[in-house]
Amino acid sequence: MSEKIIELQEVNKWFDDFQVLKNINLEVFLKQKIVVCGPSGSGKSTLIRCINRLEEHQKGKIVVDGIELSENTKNIEKIRAEVGMVFQQFNLFPHLSIVDNCTLAPIWVKKLPKKQAEELALKELEKVKILDQAKKFPGQLSGGQQQRAAIARALCMQPKIMLFDEPTSALDPEMIKEVLDAMVVLAKAGMTMIVVTHEMGFAKEVADEVIFMDEGMIIEKATTKEFFANPKSDRTKLFLSQIL
Amino acid sequence: MIKDLNFLGKPTRDKLNLFLSLGIILILLSIIDVILNSFLEVNITSILPRWLNFFTPLFFGFVGLHYIRIELSGNKTLDRLNKNINSNWLNAILTLLIVFVLIKNLPPLLNWLIIDADFIGTSKEECSREGACWVFVNVWFKRLIYGLYPNPEIWRINLSFLMLIGLVISAFFVPVKIKKYIIIFLLFIFPFIAISLISGGNFGLEWVETAAWGGLSLTFIISIFALLFCFPVGMFLALGRRSSAPVIRYSSIGFIEFWRGVPLITVLFMASVMMPMFLPDGTYMDKLVRVIIAITLFEAAYMAEVIRGGLQALPKGQYDAGKSLGMGYWRMHLLVILPQALKLVIPGVANTFLALVKDTPLILVVGLLELVGMIDMAKTNPDWLGFATEGYVFAGVVFWIICYSMSRYSQRLEKKYKTDR
């Protein structure tokens, strides 16, 4: 087995009195693709937001690329620069053009020269097939184009890991495919990915493992084939019967 | 034909010309009645009893407007007129009343302001006193602009403001690359060059103490410095109020609520009377500096709340995106959050700036005389007693011009930075 890049041990998280994550244990290896699914409110978004510490966990241990997440802000910023994230609502910066969205962090966080950052941005935009939109502002793009721009923006930081938080849930049906296509290309190129999604077709195509979560717990964790062929728990069976 | 009119019935399109001409005649009659009444003291309807002839213009106008209220007349001007000022009987009456008020008041006002006014002269005896005596403003002009600044040194103020205007104008015409440096120079270096030029005391320039500064130039000096400082202070307070560190948050809240809770006049008194007592012995801070600090802090508290509104209007996703790209607090705020938030609050910031400019006359209470203060002083001069009205009208016009230009400029900025949606 290859190098272990993310490790969660006994992770617990509460929002006030409500426990969102209960004793989560998870290991992710380099180049592994993991799909997380489950009903809404099951804690799957919170789980991946904990990995780059957009949310704090209260108990347990999270190690990303050999660095343990703690109060240390320098560590957190270092990890965030290595972990790309794509959001449900795209969250592009509306005051900047698409190419400026992509070069902002490389220039100011990684201190890349402007020219080099721009070349990199254009290359990534080419990969997600929106090179022709580079000079436009986010508000002028369709949802699918915006989400692909957001993927390119995250890739411009040349992350080791990519987190996807329901990347297609806010899209019109005809735009879902173009975003999934871009993600498949990325997966085939060997990126380590954790994807929260309900797109089971995507899971079947690229995922190595599928995790099913409910009520803050990992109910089932299996290889993709195993997960869809014979799910063990009744809860998983019920979920799959509803979603497929 | 009279039968066709069907008095106060619904005017119709097929007799358009008849109704139109009749309506216009009646409206003209009512207007002529008002004009004769107000300016020539002639009452053409005096045959009627007093209680009735008082309302005749209104009655004539009302019936006239009723006759020209023809739906879909085919005449564009008439249709637009009817839609906007004559859509029903209530609007017709309101329109008439406004027209009457204008007719009664506009000519006398213009008479006072311009036609009967005296502009040239050197003493109040040259004013006929039938209209405004602009000689007052004319004679005192230098004092109103420069305060008690010594005459031979006035070129220093002129030079400073000419440089300011020149730099601002050149900033509009040079390429973006140089523009950046001009703006930085204007914001961070020029104010201090200008202030040392005006105050003097070095480079062989005669020292002019701030007590001698005054008039419109002082208004500008105070406004510009307070604007420059209150913006960043307000920004830090706004960020501080949203900070997760309790010490920073509560001290920001305390500061904002304290300064918003006290009247500016009190603050100015404190700055000029109380603050010297708190300063250690031997240190001296100029009264003008103290006043600028006081106004800055006062307006910064308002600015902070305006900017906080913008920060709160941004979706949480923008913060998430900034963080997820590895940006720390300051990078995220400077590159992502503030550019968007400030764009949202341009109207509010302009509002606060306008309020600040209009608050400057209050420094009168601590003995600094800017434009309004100088007028106050001039009107108590024994040779010029009784010209307060002219002075205040002049001050009002000057302030209006300043504030209106600022308002226009803020609207331009709003348009310029509208990138999304």
Give the number of other Cβ atoms within 10 Å of residue A82's Cβ: 18
Contacting residues for A204 by C-beta, under 8 A, at least 6 apart: A224, A228
Q: Do A139 and B339 touch (CB under 8 A)?
A: no
Task: Give which of A97, A128, A102, A127 is closest to A114, Cα–Cα.
Answer: A102
The span from the CA of B111 to the CA of B114, in Å, is 6
pLDDT at B421: 47
Write out chain B residues lying below 8 Å of A94, CB-based: 340, 419-421
Give the number of other Cβ atoms within 10 Å of residue B363's Cβ: 28
The span from the CA of B241 to the CA of A224, in Å, is 48
Task: Give which of A56, A58, A48, A111 is closest to A84, Cα–Cα.
Answer: A48
B416 touches chain A (CB under 8 A): no
Closest CA in chain A for residue B419: A95
Task: Give which of A229, A227, A209, A239 is closest to A38, Cα–Cα.
Answer: A239
Closest CA in chain A for residue B340: A95
Q: Do A80 and B331 touch (CB under 8 A)?
A: no
Q: Do A91 and B328 touch (CB under 8 A)?
A: no
Q: Do B420 and A73 touch (CB under 8 A)?
A: no
Q: Do A52 and B324 touch (CB under 8 A)?
A: yes
Burial (CB count <10 Å: 0-12, 13-18, 19+), residue B153: middle
Nearest beta carbon to residue B325 from set A95, A109, A138? A109
Among B177, B316, B318, B325, the strongest candidate for a mutation testing the A interface, having the largest count of A CBs within 10 A, is B325
Closest CA in chain A for residue B318: A91
B323 touches chain A (CB under 8 A): yes
Return per-residue pLDDT of chain A as tens, 244 residues.
Answer: 578 899 999 999 999 889 999 999 999 999 999 999 998 889 999 999 999 899 988 989 999 988 888 878 788 888 898 999 999 999 999 999 999 999 999 999 999 999 999 999 999 999 999 999 999 999 999 999 999 999 999 999 999 999 999 999 989 988 999 999 999 999 999 999 999 998 899 999 999 999 999 999 999 999 999 999 888 899 999 988 887 7
Return per-residue pLDDT of chain B as tens, 421 residues.
Answer: 445 555 556 777 777 788 888 888 988 988 888 888 888 877 777 777 777 778 888 888 888 888 888 877 777 888 888 888 888 889 999 999 999 999 888 888 888 888 777 777 777 777 777 777 787 887 788 888 888 888 878 888 888 888 888 888 888 888 888 888 888 888 888 888 888 888 877 777 777 777 788 889 899 999 999 999 999 999 999 999 999 899 999 999 999 999 999 999 998 888 888 777 777 777 777 888 888 999 999 999 999 999 999 999 999 999 999 999 999 899 999 999 999 999 999 999 999 999 999 989 898 888 888 888 888 888 888 877 778 888 888 889 999 999 999 999 999 888 888 765 4
Main-chain phi, psi angles of A221, to 5 degrees:
-140, 115
Query: Would you call A216 helix, strand, or coil by DSSP?
Result: coil
Per-residue CA distances from B320 to A52, A71, A137, B171 (Å) = 10, 18, 20, 36
Q: Do B327 and A94 touch (CB under 8 A)?
A: no
B313 touches chain A (CB under 8 A): no
pLDDT at A40: 87
Nearest beta carbon to residue B321 from set A91, A109, A110? A91
Q: Do B325 and A104 touch (CB under 8 A)?
A: yes
Per the CB < 8 A criterion, the answer to whether A26 and A10 are in contact is no
Give the number of other Cβ atoms within 10 Å of residue A146's Cβ: 25
CA distance B317 to chain A (A): 5
pLDDT at A1: 52
Nearest beta carbon to residue A77 from set B321, B328, B339? B328
Per the CB < 8 A criterion, the answer to whether A97 and A137 are in contact is yes
CA distance B321 to chain A (A): 6
Place of tokens 């950046």: B180
Query: Would you call A75 helix, strand, or coil by DSSP?
Result: helix
Q: Do B325 and A54 touch (CB under 8 A)?
A: no
Instruction: Report the C-alpha dihedral over residues B38, B41, B43, B49, rounded to 10 degrees.
Output: 100
- H helix or E strand, kind and range, residue B300: helix B287-313
CA distance A203 to chain B (A): 24
A138 touches chain B (CB under 8 A): yes
Dihedral class, residue A190 (left if φ above 0, else alpha if ψ from -120 to 50, else beta): left
Q: Do A87 and B321 touch (CB under 8 A)?
A: yes
Nearest beta carbon to residue A95 from set B320, B327, B340? B340
Write out chain A residues lying below 8 Å of B343, CB-based: 95
CA distance B419 to chain A (A): 6
pLDDT at B1: 45
Bridge partners (DSSP) of residue B6 are none
Bridge partners (DSSP) of residue A8 are A26, A62
Q: Do A94 and B420 touch (CB under 8 A)?
A: yes
Write out chain A residues lying below 8 Å of B340, CB-based: 93-95
Could you please report the per-residue DSSP string of B206-219? PP--GGG--HHHHH
Place of tokens 């709160």: B312
**pLDDT tens profile B105-119:** 888 888 888 877 777
Query: Can you give the pTM of this predicted structure?
Result: 0.84
